[in-house]
Amino acid sequence: MSEWRGIWVFVEQDDGELERASLEILTRAGELGGKFNEEVYGVLLGHELSGIAEEASRYGADKLIIVDHPELRHFNSDAYTEVLSYLINKYRPRYMLLPATRNSRDIAGRLAVRFRTCLSAHVISVDIDEKDRRLVTAVPGFGGNIVATVVCTGGKPEMATVSPGTYEARAGSKRAVLISETVPEELIKKRRIELVGKERTQMIDLSRAERVVVAGLGTGGDLELINEFAKLINASVGVTRPLADMGLVPRDYQVGTTGVSLRAKLAFVFGASGAPHFVYGIRDCGTVVAVNTDREAPIFEHCDYCIVADLFEILRALIKELRGG
Amino acid sequence: MALGNIIVTMKVTPKPEEIRFDPVKKVVDRSKATNEINPADKNALEMALQIKERYGGRVVIVSMGPQFWDQFILMGIAMGADDAVLISDRALGGSDAFVTSKVLAAAIKKIGNYSLIITGEESSDGSTGQVPPGIAEWLGIPVVTYVSQFLEVGEDYIVVKRTIKGGSETVRVKLPAVLSVELGCNNPRFPDFERLNWAKTEFKLTVWGIKDLGLTEDEVGFKGSLTSVTELRELRPRERLRQFIEGSPEEIARELIRRLGLK
Ligand SMILES: Cc1cc2nc3c(=O)[nH]c(=O)nc-3n(C[C@H](O)[C@H](O)[C@H](O)COP(=O)(O)OP(=O)(O)OC[C@H]3O[C@@H](n4cnc5c(N)ncnc54)[C@H](O)[C@@H]3O)c2cc1C
């Protein structure tokens, strides 16, 4: 058997939609590959992939392995795990990086056990040790407050899921060589999960919005003034977890560890207490303004302008003022 | 149709806002933090109880942790679970997600006759989310993660809704299967007072060590783990101005608009 070589990046797609976080990781893998003399592979499973393959081939990979099959058009944790296992056994990559999305975290967890290998979860940095070439990652825990440096002590491929937004995706002039793979039919056919239906709407990507207005539970779920104000200042609207739990908005608009991390230049936070899981999502924002009736709310330790007041009164005043007084 | 065991995995976690970090010793101090049932695991238990109410089966809690967790497990019993197993062993200290999923899967195998294993999407402390797919892999069964709702249970399948980017998908999965449920997807019921009394006086919690699961010390804890933590540090909160702006709402609004250059 050949030795374990190369860095793999799982290029996630679902129904023809490319997961951008995969391109961010490809870019990072390209840097690591250059530094440590490891070949970088992207691995793409799906159906009718030419557009996505073309896009993914420009982000630093040397090679792009493509498995095109109608049954792989939609993400399927069962079938995807089988196909990836087959490919890993065939190519034996030393490292494997996946985006820390819902879908990829699912297959990463399965693959780690199947290959009896290490897996660092939703890391915020990924590196290779100069001396022993082990994968070294930074893993946030306890609501994001404490970060552990985690190294792999056993198994191959050494795996990590990387948080979306951790690295910048940069397209270069180099194009990856495309490799078309076919896999045994029964791997795809023996799946036990059947897709019955899918409901999706086109989402704005909150993590890239320049201005965001966040509504917390203090709004009681009444987003009318929030939306009006956001529109006036050309901002996107985000929410804290309880509002997403209530089903007021899709999960994609939730800010925090189990939602989106913002990178906005300006963020308003109305009626959120400032729990660690939430604050983690606004730490990379430029200026943060918070409005809360409770002077002791922890959110005031994490913002630039603190306003102790009823959020609806402040919103009304802001709207009036912006409309010309 | 009757379902077999519906197994719910449960962890006890410290409240994150009460965790302190000792910058000198570089260790996490949980001693002053209040412990609670991991929030998402309560949603898992609630979903299990609702499935049992509609389709039968027996709800069994499985947990891996120190003995003092028994008081939290009894709360789960008081909420309506039928039985519970705590895997407690000094050798388990330092177990990573790989080992945790192995130990839980071994316990689930030993309990046997399972139709569903329901877990929270992730724990509020470690938050890897990789234990549920790990359990599925050890048991050789499918997993559906980020489940927000169950729609239908049949002879050998369950239909569930799961959250995906931009919406949701509905999938039908063969039983037995692992489901990881989304935090906050339902409202966990309160413990029943009379049942709590019963749990405290008559219910007998099963406690297993690793030997009961046929595992050796080398396979668990730090030794069995495939990842190792070499350093801990605090993610320093970003320095913020923290300036209070006071006045009437109109004055505050004008001041904000001026400082932020919104107009
Ligand atoms: C594993 C895990 C993951 C989590 N992930 C996330 C996450 O990603 N994102 C997230 O947000 N949460 C997350 N949470 C939940 C988090 O711990 C908090 O429960 C949540 O952030 C609280 O939301 P909130 O601040 O909107 O509500 P609350 O904590 O209820 O705060 C509401 C605030 O509004 C103020 N208020 C009330 N009325 C008014 C008014 N009229 N005007 C002004 N202020 C008012 C109150 O003083 C209060 O401070 C997670 C929890 C766990 C366990």
Instruction: State the burial class of residue A31 (Cβ atoms within 10 Å of its Cβ: 0-12, 13-18, 19+).
Output: middle
* B165, B233, B244: best to mutate for the A interface, most A CBs within 10 A: B165
| Beta carbons within 10 angstroms of residue A50's beta carbon | 10
Q: Which residue is associated with the tokens 């420009």?
A: A58
To the nearest whole number, what is the mean pLDDT of chain B? 95
Spell out which residues of chain B touch residue A245, defining contact as CB-CB under 8 Å: 183-185
CA B162 remoteness from chain centre: 17
A234 touches chain B (CB under 8 A): no
Residue A156 near residue A114, CB atoms below 8 Å = no
Tokens of A97: 């990086």
Instruction: State the burial class of residue A201 (Cβ atoms within 10 Å of its Cβ: 0-12, 13-18, 19+).
Output: exposed
Identify the pLDDT of residue B16: 85
Q: How far apart are CA B133 and CA B115, in angstroms?
A: 16
CB interface of A with B, residues 45-104, below 8 Å: 74-75, 77-78, 101-103
Q: Which of A47, A115, A41, A39 is nearest to A79 (CA)?
A: A47
User: Which positions ≥6 away from A291 have C-beta within 8 Å?
Assistant: A268, A269, A270, A271, A307, A309, A311, A314
Identify the pLDDT of residue B207: 98
For ligand 1, say whether the CB of A256 is within 6 Å of any of its atoms: yes
DSSP at A5: -
Identify the pLDDT of residue B171: 98
Q: How far apart are CA A66 and CA B85, in angstroms?
A: 45
* A118, A120, A146: best to mutate for the B interface, most B CBs within 10 A: A146
Alpha-carbon distance values, A92 to A87, A185, A312, B98, B191 (Å): 8, 21, 58, 20, 50
Which atom of ligand 1 is the closest one to the Cα of A256? 8
The residues that bridge with A97 in the sheet, in sequence order, are A9, A160
Percent above pLDDT 70 for chain B: 100
Identify the pLDDT of residue B187: 96
Residues B65-114 pLDDT 10s:
999 999 999 999 999 999 999 999 999 999 999 999 999 999 999 999 99
CA dihedral B87, B88, B89, B92 (to 10 degrees): 70
A231 touches chain B (CB under 8 A): no
Percent above pLDDT 90 for chain B: 87
Residue A171 near residue A58, CB atoms below 8 Å = yes
Q: Which of A182, A185, A247, A194 is nearest to B184 (CA)?
A: A247
* Buried-exposed string B30-42: b where 16+ CB fall within 10 A, e elsewhere: beebeeebbbbbb
Residue A180 near residue A68, CB atoms below 8 Å = yes
Write down the ipTM of this complex: 0.94
- Residue B22 scores a pLDDT above 90: no
DSSP at A158: E
- Fill in the amino acid letter for A75: F
Sign of CA dihedral B171, A203, A267, A139: positive
> How many residues are present in chain B?
263
H-helix or E-strand spanning residue A270: strand A266-270
Residue of A nearest to B156 (CA): A192
Identify the pLDDT of residue A1: 57
For ligand 1, atom 6, the nearest C-alpha belongs to: A277
Q: Which residue has the higher pLDDT, B32 or B142?
A: B142
Q: Which residue is associated with the tokens 């939730």?
A: A254
B88: helix, strand or coil: coil
Q: Which of A46, A39, A38, A41 is nearest to A13 (CA)?
A: A46
- Residue B213 scores a pLDDT above 90: yes
β-pairing, A146-152 with A135-141?
antiparallel
Alpha-carbon distance values, A46 to A75, A178, A187 (Å): 8, 14, 14
Mean pLDDT of B23-40: 90
| Beta carbons within 10 angstroms of residue B4's beta carbon | 16
Phi, psi of A38 (to 5 degrees): -115, 140
A179: helix, strand or coil: strand
Angle between helix axes B131-139 and A102-114 (nearest 10 degrees) is 40
For ligand 1, say whether the CB of A240 is within 6 Å of any of its atoms: yes
Question: Given pLDDT bands bounded at 50, 70 and 90, which one contains residue B235?
Answer: confident
CB-nearest to B130 from A112, A203, A233 is A112
Q: What are the residue ranges in chain A where pLDDT is below 50? A: none
Residue A166 near residue A20, CB atoms below 8 Å = no
The residues that bridge with A14 in the sheet, in sequence order, are A17
Q: Which of B160, B162, B159 is nearest to A200 (CA)?
A: B162
Contact flag A283-B122 (C-beta cutoff 8 Å): no
- Residue B123 scores a pLDDT above 70: yes
Q: How far apart are CA A75 and CA A102, in angstroms?
A: 11
Identify the pLDDT of residue B252: 98
Spell out which residues of chain B touch residue A13, defining contact as CB-CB under 8 Å: none
For ligand 1, say whether the CB of A157 is within 6 Å of any of its atoms: no
Identify the pLDDT of residue B1: 61
Mean pLDDT of B162-177: 96
> How many residues are present in chain A?
325
Q: How far apart are CA A161 and CA B125, in angstroms?
A: 17
Identify the pLDDT of residue B29: 87
Question: What is the reported pTM?
Answer: 0.94
Residue B48 near residue B41, CB atoms below 8 Å = no
Residue of A nearest to B231 (CA): A149
Mean pLDDT of B3-29: 91
A178 touches chain B (CB under 8 A): no
CB-nearest to B145 from A74, A102, A119 is A102
Tokens of B122: 């992730």
CB-nearest to A146 from B228, B232, B263 is B232
For ligand 1, say whether the CB of A164 is within 6 Å of any of its atoms: no
CA A179 remoteness from chain centre: 26
